[in-house]
Structures are given as C-alpha cells and as structure tokens.
Amino acid sequence: MIEPIGGLQSTIERLIDELVPVRTLDEIIDASCSLLGSIPAVTETALCVVDDDVFTVHRFGETMESSTHASADESDPIVYRLAHYRTHLIDVENPDPAPPGFTDACWHEPYEESLRRGVREILWVPAVSGGRTLGALWFSSADRGVFDDAEFRDQLEVVTATLSMAMAKVEALARVDRRVRAIDQTHDELETVNRDLQDFAQMASSGLGDPLRKLMAFGDRLEASAVDDLTERELDYLARIHSASSRMRRLIDDLLLFSSVHTPDAAPETVDLDDVLDGVLSDLEVAIAESNAVIESNSLGTVSGNPTQLRQLLQNLIGNAIKFRADGLAPHITVRRTGDTPARIEVSDNGIGFDPRFLDRIFKPFQRLHAKTEFEGSGIGLSVCRRIAERHGGELQATSVQGEGSTFIATLEPTSDGGAP
C-alpha cells in the first residue's frame, strides 16, 4: 500500500530542490503543490499557515483548494491545535474529545467535512522553526493503518520540516523587505527634512541678515555721530546692541553651514588631504602667528569625498585647537594619519582639554562648555565636524584629559587604492 521509502526519499529531495529558490509563501504553495498532492498512500495533504491574526488552509489533492480565516485566536479548533498539539494521529470517525472551552459540535466540525470526503485518518504534524509554530501539515488517508509505519511517519515529518524551513526563510525575507522599505521611507523623510532645514536656514540668512546688517550699521552711525552727546550708559547700550547683533549674525551663518552639511553631495572625488591641510594652514595664518602655534603633520594621503567639507573639518579642528589653548602656553598641534581602512585622521593639541563626562555634549549644536566671554563662537563647529565625518562613511570621536589637551579622531572612507601615504 505504501510506496517504498526510497520513493518518498526522492520526493523529499525534489521538494528541497523546488523550495530552495522560493521567496514568497505563494511560491512555496506553487512549488510544493504537485509534490504534496502525490505522496504515496496519502489521499490529500493540507498546509495550514498562520500569519498574525489570519490563518489559511491549502488542500493539495486532485485539485488545490484554499480557504482563509480572518481570526487566528484559539476559539478556532485549528488554531487551538496549532498552539497545543504536537504530532499526533486523528481517527476521523472517532476524534479525540473536545478540550475545555469547546463544544463537541464545534471541535468535530472539521472532521465531519473530512469524513464526507472519504478520509479515515489524519496525521497532524506542526510546522515549527526556531521554537515558533508557523503552521501545520495534515496528511489524510482513506485507509486505516497507513501511518502506523514509523519510517513513513518520520519521512512525513521530514517533509514538514522542509516546508517549515522554507516558510521561516520567507518570513525572514519579508521582515528584511519591510525593514528595507522602512529604511527607504525614513531616508526619503530625512531628505525632505534636510531640504526643509536648508530652505529654512537660507531664508533665515537672507530674511534676518538684512535687518541685522541695518541694525549694526545704524548703531555704528549713531555711535560715530553722537558719541560726544551720549552718556556712558548709552554707549554701553550701543555696545551691547552691536555685540548681540554680531552673535546673531554668527548664529545665522553657522545654522546655514550646519544645514549645508546635510544636503545631498555631488559624486565623491579623490581628495588629497595634504593639499587640503596646506590650504587650511594658509587660512589660519594670522591665528597661528598671533598664538605662536606649532603645527606638525605626517603625510595624510587621500580619501574619497567632498573637498569643501573635508577642508571645513580640518579647519574647525585645528582652529579649535588654537582657540582653546592654555594661558601662557603656545599651542602645539599634531595632525597625522594613523590608519588606512578606514582612513583615520587625528588632531591632537596641548590645550585646556575638557572633562570626558561632557564628551557627548561637545558634539551637539550650539552647546558650549565655556562662557562666551571666555571663548568666542556659537558652539556648532564640532557638530559640523561630526556630520562631515558621518557623511564620509565614518565618525568623529575624541579623548581628553582636562588641562592636558585633547585628541579628535575622524574616520573617513579611503580612496579605492586605500589612500595610503
């Protein structure tokens, strides 16, 4: 009555071959339909699949039938079996009694339908993967004793395990697809936010810049024309207006700079960091001379990226090292490359340093560790540097000992040849 085990083994091997390339549940159904419907001594095979609050039954025999149920709660006999039953044999004419919470009529209804189709026995095998029940297979027979053969039952469990792995793979692929779509959606939303941020910054720069320039210009004129007629307090008021206006102008410019780092770049290009450093040192020539700073560097090699942003990165880091110097001590700054994959650029100084407890704070926009009377600036430079490093596939970190200096480490994507010095 039962086909030799070798025959069923070949069916299993064919089933595995069919299920290897599948990526969706529909493909599993299509790939396994004919094989599940032609298992020897089995008149019908049904696959039950549970997906959140929906379960679907697919019957494979002479024809394929599918039925979907909207609710997967345990008030349904099939779902209850999925949650509580392991592999077991069901006598359709004398099924097991109804468990607590079910009437006999409700519990036996599925078997009455099977009996009308001539089914006498059903082997129920849960489809389990990773400890989770994904569904089950019902192997139905019109004869008794078909499933008494232990080896035959073992091979039917192998069939179920094969389908379980395919279902688990499909479920994992679906999760990946959902995450990819969510990432794509988040990326689109971030691009929209970034464009809005840049538009706002540009609007603020142009819309507020002109009034500020007028305010500063008329303040200067008033001070120049009426300086002899103003009291010391009134002159102090004018000085405060000028100082506040200057700070506002700087904040607007920094906001525009911060937003520009978020906008999409042109295609990256190979950037010679030694050339970039030469340009930065030229720009900082006055500050270097006034502070008697000594700046040393090794060969920085090349990286792939945006030359303007990379220049801003080095200029901010070196400019900060000059600015935050210790009283009576000339800055000694070292710029060096210490790694190639990814490129690792370190800027070290002997300045005032900072308390490591404030490491996260120094990279946040407009956050300051010192009063504006001690050091000028808006507190956005390091946040711009971190964004630039992130836009170049890396990150910006720092180490420091308060009173002994700091080291800022930027990792960047190297060029295709590694950019080694």
Q: Within the chain, which residues score under 70 in pLDDT?
A: 1-7, 62-63, 69-70, 194, 196-210, 247, 250-266, 358, 365-379, 414-421
* Pair of tokens at residue 323: 């600015």
Query: Which phi and psi (to 5°) does residue 299 adopt?
Result: -75, 125
Query: Which phi and psi (to 5°) does residue 319 adopt?
Result: -60, -40
Query: What is the four-CA torsion angle of 281, 287, 291, 295, rounded to 10 degrees?
Result: -10
Based on the number of CB atoms within 10 Å of its own CB, is 182 exposed (0-12), middle (13-18) or buried (19 or more)? Answer: exposed
* Pair of tokens at residue 125: 């095998």
Strands 121-129, 132-141: pairing kind: antiparallel
**Cis peptide preceding 268, ω within 30 of 0:** no
The model's pTM is 0.51
For residue 146, the one-letter residue type is V
**Contacts for 401 with CB less than 8 Å, ≥ 6 apart:** 353
**What does each C-alpha distance from 285 to 14, 65, 275 come to in angstroms?**
75, 81, 15
Query: Which phi and psi (to 5°) does residue 82 adopt?
Result: -60, -35
For residue 276, the one-letter residue type is V
Give just the sign of the alpha carbon dihedral 224, 227, 229, 231. positive
Cβ neighbours, 10 Å, residue 132 = 12
Task: List the beta strands (DSSP E) in 61-154.
Answer: 64-69, 88-91, 121-129, 132-141
Nearest to 337 by CA among 328, 350, 329, 347: 347
Query: Which phi and psi (to 5°) does residue 330 adopt?
Result: -70, 140
For residue 419, what pLDDT is reported?
A: 42
* Pair of tokens at residue 127: 């489809």
For residue 62, what pLDDT is reported?
A: 65
- How far apart, in whole angstroms, are the C-alpha atoms of residue 80 and residue 258? 58
For residue 370, what pLDDT is reported?
A: 45
**Contacts for 214 with CB less than 8 Å, ≥ 6 apart:** none
For residue 379, what pLDDT is reported?
A: 58
**Residue 397: in which H helix or E strand, if any?**
strand 396-401
Residue keyed to tokens 């450093």: 277
For residue 60, what pLDDT is reported?
A: 83
Answer yes or no: are the C-beta atoms of 418 and 408 closer than 8 Å: no
- How far apart, in whole angstroms, are the C-alpha atoms of residue 144 and residue 157? 19
For residue 263, what pLDDT is reported?
A: 53
Answer yes or no: are the C-beta atoms of 348 and 337 closer than 8 Å: no
Cβ-count burial 322-357 (b if 16+ within 10 Å, e if not) = bbbbeeeeebbbbbebeebebbbbbbbbbbbbbeee
For residue 236, what pLDDT is reported?
A: 81
Answer yes or no: are the C-beta atoms of 35 and 14 closer than 8 Å: yes
Give just the sign of the alpha carbon dihedral 284, 286, 288, 291. negative
**47 torsion bin: left (phi>0), alpha (psi -120 to 50), beta (else):** beta
For residue 307, what pLDDT is reported?
A: 86
